[in-house]
Amino acid sequence: MVPMTSASTIASAGSAVPAAGAPDEERCYRAVQSKDPRFDGWFYTAVRTTGIYCRPSCPAVTPKRQNVTFYQTAAAAQIAGYRACKRCRPDATPGSPAWNMRADVVGRAMRLIADGVIDRDGVTGLATRLNYSERQLNRLLTTEVGAGPLALARAQRAQAARVLIETTTMPFTDVAFGAGFASIRQFNDTIREVFASTPTDLRSQRRPAASGAGIVSLRLAFRPPMDTATLFGFLGMRAVPGVECWDGSTYRRVLRLPHGLATVSLTPAVHHVDCRLQLADMRDLTTAVARCRRLLDLDADPESISDQLIIDEMLAPLVIKSPGLRSPAHVDGNELAVRAVLGQQVSVAGARTLAGRLVAKYGQTLAVPDGELTHAFPTAAALACADPADLAMPASRKRALFGMCRALASGEIQLDAGADRTEVEAQLVALPGIGAWTAAYISMRALGDPDVFLPTDLGVKHALERLGADGSPKAAHERAEHWRPWRSYALHLLWGSL
């Protein structure tokens, strides 16, 4: 089977994948024949004779080629009249890596939709955030992924509703509005159309796995392999007291969501990550899940990344040692930006201590503490008004922090899922005291940029020299050009080697 190692191999100019080019369609069909789970989420297989759509790894008998159509999104398959397979549950696959990789308006729109922006602000809000008209945006998305923003949001609501139906004892009325539906009728009709089942049928098939108000337990799928030890160790080392904690197996933290505060517990398992959310408002479910997925980089395609980086003989042993390496992002762009400035020219432990002091002084206290979790990280607005005496750092970094917090609080700089990475880096560097290293690090972790490299980083220099390479910034930059578009992952490999 010819491997699909980039988004371009299944990108489409129309609703089916791909609309132009039989070789790509044949590649998709070979993936279906091999039932390879690596391609789950890259595309969906719709079978005309059954009227259902599946993930590529569906264990059912492989349909005949002439009966199959391929779609990039579940929403596109649903628009075409197909319902979700009850056996393979295509709605529960990892997301397509394409939307995290792409920096264009379609990629930004897909990330914002996943974050729940349409449920909060409507299509008008999405278009405004991207500086496009609603008509332009609808045309772009329909052309690229086969479905407009409303259809994409509808498919997402259906999945959120299914999670609530199967993992809670919430009344269906609460499930409907919690998942983002405007009415009970819309909720019932969508569940029947997408899953060919009623809400009652779905609940009877699975016993709720969670109890208590606002608690949801679910599994977050990923493409194996995944180096969970390195990923969770990275987050655990940087856990800010009061906001985060890590006991060596489970990472927990407070989330600041559109409708209130929440806490999440994330525990790696063999083929998924167990996620337990305590939500103040069920409307935040979709947003919370999307942000946890971004935090853990669960939609990554580890095969593509390894195939590119292992070509470098210096990196090859590190790639082999850490199969399935992830590049962790963050659940809150503003929080990450503040922490990046706090961490300038200090150790990881020193940055944690300083951040912990700010949390205790300016963080929002949880109404009911959850063990070690007691506060939400301070907002940019709160820190913009902080007493400089509470910041144990040089005056130049204080100015940088206050200036950045004012820009974030005013909306001059926005670090959300729809941000233009190039534009944000330029805005950050224009602020006094924010250099190229800090701006690039924020792009990598706050915005999920997979292709960031920090040639002036001391850790990079030491790692390259230990591996027998030239650690100078110029040489490091030139070498890293061969690692595109996965330089962020190479960066984590180098840091991990220390």
Q: How confident is the model at residue 3 (pLDDT cuts 50, 70, 90)?
A: very low
Rounded Cα gap, residues 13 and 268, in angstroms: 37
**DSSP 3-state of 369:** strand
Q: How confident is the model at residue 207 (pLDDT cuts 50, 70, 90)?
A: low
Q: What superfamily in CATH does domain 7-98 come from?
A: DNA Methylphosphotriester Repair Domain (3.40.10.10)
Q: pTM to 2 decimals?
A: 0.91
User: Is residue 2 over pLDDT 90?
Assistant: no
Q: Which stretches of 11-89 are assigned E, i.e. beta strand? A: 44-47, 52-54, 68-71, 83-84
Distance (Å, rounded) from C-alpha 187 to C-alpha 179?
9
CB 54 within 8 Å of CB 88: yes
pLDDT of residue 211: 60
Q: Which pLDDT score, from 0 to 100, does residue 101 have?
A: 87
Mind listing the pLDDT tens digit for each residue in 343-365? 988 899 999 999 999 999 999 99
Q: What is the mean pLDDT of residues 153-181?
A: 92
Question: Which residues does the annotation mark as catalytic?
Answer: 54, 457
CB-based contact 83:254 (threshold 8 Å): no
Q: How confident is the model at residue 468 (pLDDT cuts 50, 70, 90)?
A: very high
**Within the chain, which residue ranges are assigned CATH 1.10.1670?**
307-325+452-497
Q: Cβ–Cβ contacts within 10 Å for residue 123, how many? A: 17
Chain-wide mean pLDDT for the chain?
Answer: 91
Residue 392's pLDDT is 84
For 359-383, how does the pLDDT look when each residue is reduced to its tens digit (9 = 90+)? 999 999 999 999 999 999 999 999 9
Q: What percent of the chain has pLDDT over 90?
A: 85
Sequence ranges of the chain with CATH classification 3.40.10.10: 7-98
- Residue 210's pLDDT is what? 61
| pLDDT tens digits, one per residue of 400-433 | 999 999 999 999 999 999 999 999 999 999 999 9
* pLDDT above 70 for 15: no
**Residue for token digits 């998305």?**
141
SS3 212: coil
> What pLDDT sits at residue 407?
98
pLDDT tens for 429-456 read 999 999 999 999 999 999 999 999 999 9
- Classify domain 307-325+452-497 at the CATH class level: mainly alpha
pLDDT at 107: 95
Q: What is the pLDDT of residue 205?
A: 78
How many angstroms separate the CA atoms of 369 and 227, rounded?
31
How large is the average pLDDT for residues 94-118? Answer: 93
